Amino acid sequence: MHSKNSPQRAPSKLFTLNLLIKSFILLIVLGTGFYVLIMYKPQYIDLHSMAMRTISMTWSSNCADERTSLQRWIAPPSNLTHSMTDEELFWRASFVPQVNKYPYNRISKVAFMFLTKGPMPLAPLWEKFFKGNEGKYSIYVHALPDYQPDFPRWSVFYRRQIPSQVAEWGKMSMCDAERRLLANALLDVDNERFVLLSESCIPLHNFSTVYGYLVHSKHSFVGAFDDPGPHGRGRYNHNMAPEVNVSQWRKGAQWFEMDRNLAVFLIHDTKYYPKFKDFCRPPCYVDEHYFPTMLAIELPHLLSNRSLTSVDWSRGGAHPATFGGRDVTEGFLKRLVGRHSCMYNDQPAAVCFLFARKFSPSALEPLLQFAPILLGYGS
């Protein structure tokens, strides 16, 4: 016979059983969580460390960028190829520092700018001239747009061709090419002197002589003289007034040399350019008048009023004499390099010409032969 309270024992046992089950499940969950934590803690630490290292590296990189930010401004373009129009290029190249003292150890460089149709047959001679003087010069080549140079990697001319356009003799496109060369060279802030050359030019002295002569000059070497004859004032067009009067009309050699200030002045000119483009056309040859006239009007005190490139006009005609292999003798080169009379830094000087033209491809071999003895380079 059961007592009155016996039916209440079943719920108590059920409660106890549920409690045990819940406790067991809780232990399993806690154990599983602890196991997961133990197993994956190293990975968590590694990920955390990696994240911290990444942040540290990023911070260091940013700090390094801040420390080397000047380098981004002064480093020359590593590749001369670009897609800028002339308008964009001239604008970019016209930036001029307003503080004259450079905040780094600047070595002035000479920009050698070659205006060519394409091949440079005298390149081996120039290679010998430049050898061993790295860091003191830059090279720029303006050729026909479709010309594909094949200089080897070790050549100083390798990948030195700038984006070019067709340049026609005696037309404004020739001056456009010269300004394009100047603008590209101005992108290197260490270029201080700029010399225009052709594929038929040769250096008459070794690099040290040429470099010292240029970087220590107080003047730029641009010829600008008044020619009253038919090939001077006879080419003047009265439509060029009032910007240019006939009394201001000047003539000079195409092959100039100038400092950075004049180079910047030439590429940002908008006052004289339209007049010469519209009113100096053959038989007015703009490359002989545009730069000489403009600079003689605006900055005459900065000009030496002579060219550094020797040419021979004695044979007559519209172009100077061309010298081939048979012309290049010891006596011929001695006369080119020999003593002359001119002014340099307002003092009489015997060295007046640093370059000479025009030399044909056949002149290369004798030039290479005589260069070490007579020109001072190439040994």
Residue 247 is which amino acid? S
Q: What is the mean predicted confidence (pLDDT) over 301-306? A: 96
The secondary element (H helix, E strand) that includes residue 310 is: strand 309-310
According to DSSP H, which parts of the chain are helical? 9-67, 69-74, 86-93, 123-130, 172-186, 207-215, 260-267, 273-279, 290-298, 330-337, 364-370
- Comparing 22-36, 41-55, 123-137, the range with the smallest average pLDDT is 41-55
CB-side neighbour CA atoms (13 Å) of 89: 22
The residue among 379, 306, 376 whose CA lies nearest residue 337 is 376
pLDDT 10s digits, 8-26: 444 455 555 555 666 656 5
Q: DSSP class of residue 280?
A: -
CATH class name, domain 78-97+106-375: alpha beta
pTM: 0.82
Return d(Cα 156, Cα 184) in angstroms, integer: 17
Q: Write the DSSP string, 22-68.
A: HHHHHHHHHHHHHHHHHHHHHHHHHHHHHHHHHHHHHHHHHHHHHHT
- The residue extents of the domains of the chain are 78-97+106-375
pLDDT 10s digits, 307-339: 999 999 887 777 899 999 999 999 999 999 987
Residue 285 has which token pair? 């040859």
pLDDT 10s digits, 165-219: 999 988 999 999 999 999 999 999 999 999 999 999 999 999 999 999 999 999 9
Backbone angles phi, psi at 25, to 5 degrees: -65, -40
Strand partners, 110: 137, 193
For the chain, give the percent of residues with pLDDT over 90.
73
Q: What is the spatial order of strands in the sheet that 355-356 belongs to? A: 202-203, 355-356, 309-310
Residue 93 is which amino acid? A
SS3 (DSSP) at 238: helix
Return d(Cα 8, Cα 1) in angstroms, integer: 16
pLDDT 10s digits, 254-275: 999 999 999 999 999 999 999 9
